[in-house]
Amino acid sequence: MKKLINKPEDVVKEELEGLALAYPDIVKVHFDPDYVYRADAPVKGKVALISGGGSGHEPMHGGLVGLGMLDGACPGQVFTSPTPDQMLEAAKMVHGGAGVLYIVKNYTGDVMNFEMAADMARSEGIRVLSILIDDDTAVKDSTWTAGRRGVGTTVLAEKIVGAAAEKGYDLKKLADLCRKVNINGRSMGMALTSCTVPMAGKPTFDLPEDEMEIGVGIHGEPGRERMSLKTADEITEMLALSIIDDPAYSRTVRELDEEKGEWVDVTLEDPPFKAGDQVLAFVNNMGGSAAVELPIIYRKLHEICEKKGLKIVRNLIGPYITSLEMQGCSITLLKMDDELLELWDAPVKTIGMRWGI
């Protein structure tokens, strides 16, 4: 294992220490339980946005905390969901009196830990809603699986919902907006290489020199299918079509119902993309691919979208939701409308994403 680390068990702690030293104007870090929060938290009267998940996906989520985006982020161990006490304490620290929205990627671990945290926070009198992101088209059905994983759309949702929170949307409206972003976003990822969880010390899987994994998540897990290595254009086409040609997707998720005061099953349906849609195209580096490669993917994606009648109105290209040093990429398309465009363009100042300020 070749990494710029000290003891594997100290990776997350020392990363957080580094962030605290490097960006005191943007974030503060609390240890035991660990969470990253806005340097100016709590922002009075603003709904607080909290996300979290395993570490190893940097800049997500700690690097997405700041003005116009998250108020708090709870980092777990590498690829391991954080614990409810982190999420509870983060909520207590950042909530500015207008409630807390948890943005949760749909992984069994994240979902269960955030559910426990939401219950705990509510029992302490904090208004909480919680929205799942499940956008990974590599997962075809939700009946025989834990449902689609939360991947690239998470970053876009955090930006857009963060801007709306800054604008003064209330908790209910933010939850609705986050749900809207989620059902309009879809992603698909692939890996050229595996990655190595520091504590495990060896690559999660072996991938021969001439093979790749299609339909991977972001945890170094093998994907849906292993196949022989293809060109950037062929890979882009596979990923893009898996998104664009994805039919309507419906599933039942659990959401907190504020009126009933309990978790209820909600059925959601993602509408398929159609010609004429305006989209945001997000080409994500899994972490270890050379930066020169991403525009090559974008180039082909642009061509495919054009052919399919999708108009790319915004883009995001780079490592935003990574799997440690894995080589590979993912594509996310999000259908945009005027509200989303305005919120996307709004100023943001975080470690990993910054513009307009």
Partner 1 sequence: MAITTVDVLNCLRQMADVIHENKEYLTDLDSAIGDADHGINMDRGFQAILKKLPSVEDKDAGTILKTAGMALVSSVGGAAGPLYGTAFMQAGMAIAGKYELEAEDLLAILDAALKGVIMRGRANLADKTMVDAITPAVNVIREALGNGAGTVEVLEQAAAAAKKGMKDTIPMLAKKGRASYLGERSIGHQDPGATSSYLLINTMAEMARVKE
Ligand X SMILES: Nc1ncnc2c1ncn2[C@@H]1O[C@H](COP(=O)(O)OP(=O)(O)O)[C@@H](O)[C@H]1O
- Residue 139 binds to partner 1 (criterion: CB under 8 A): yes
Other CB atoms within 10 Å distance of the CB of residue 119? 16
Residue with smallest beta-carbon separation from Mg ion: 80
Stretch that binds partner 1, among 35-43, 137-145, 283-291, 343-351 (CB under 8 A): 137-145
Q: Within positions 72 to 111, which residues make up the interface with partner 1, using CB under 8 A?
A: 76-85, 107-109
- Residue 189 binds to partner 1 (criterion: CB under 8 A): no
Catalytic residue flag (residue 219): yes
Torsion of CA 272, 277, 278, 279, to 10 degrees: 20
Catalytic residue flag (residue 95): no
Catalytic residue among 61, 95, 219, 302: 219
Q: With contact defined as beta carbons under 8 Å apart, do 317 and 283 qualify?
A: yes
Which residues sit opposite 129 in a β-bridge? 101
Beta carbon of residue 146, minimum distance to partner 1 (angstroms, whole number) = 5
Tokens of 86: 């982190």
Phi/psi of residue 294, each to 5°?
-65, -45
| Closer CB to Mg ion, 324 or 353, in the complex | 324
| Closer CB to partner 1, 77 or 330, in the complex | 77
> How many Å apart are CA 50 and CA 326, to the nearest integer?
26
Q: With contact defined as beta carbons under 8 Å apart, do 284 and 314 qualify?
A: no
**Rg for the chain (alpha carbons), in Å?**
19
- Residue 16 binds to its own copies (criterion: CB under 8 A): yes
Among 59, 109, 185, 198, interactor with ligand X by CB under 6 A: 109
Catalytic residue among 57, 61, 95, 302: 57
- Residue 328 binds to partner 1 (criterion: CB under 8 A): no
> How many Å apart are CA 61 and CA 130, to the nearest integer?
16
Name the site residues for ligand X (rule: CB under 6 A): 80-81, 108-109
Catalytic machinery residues: 57, 219
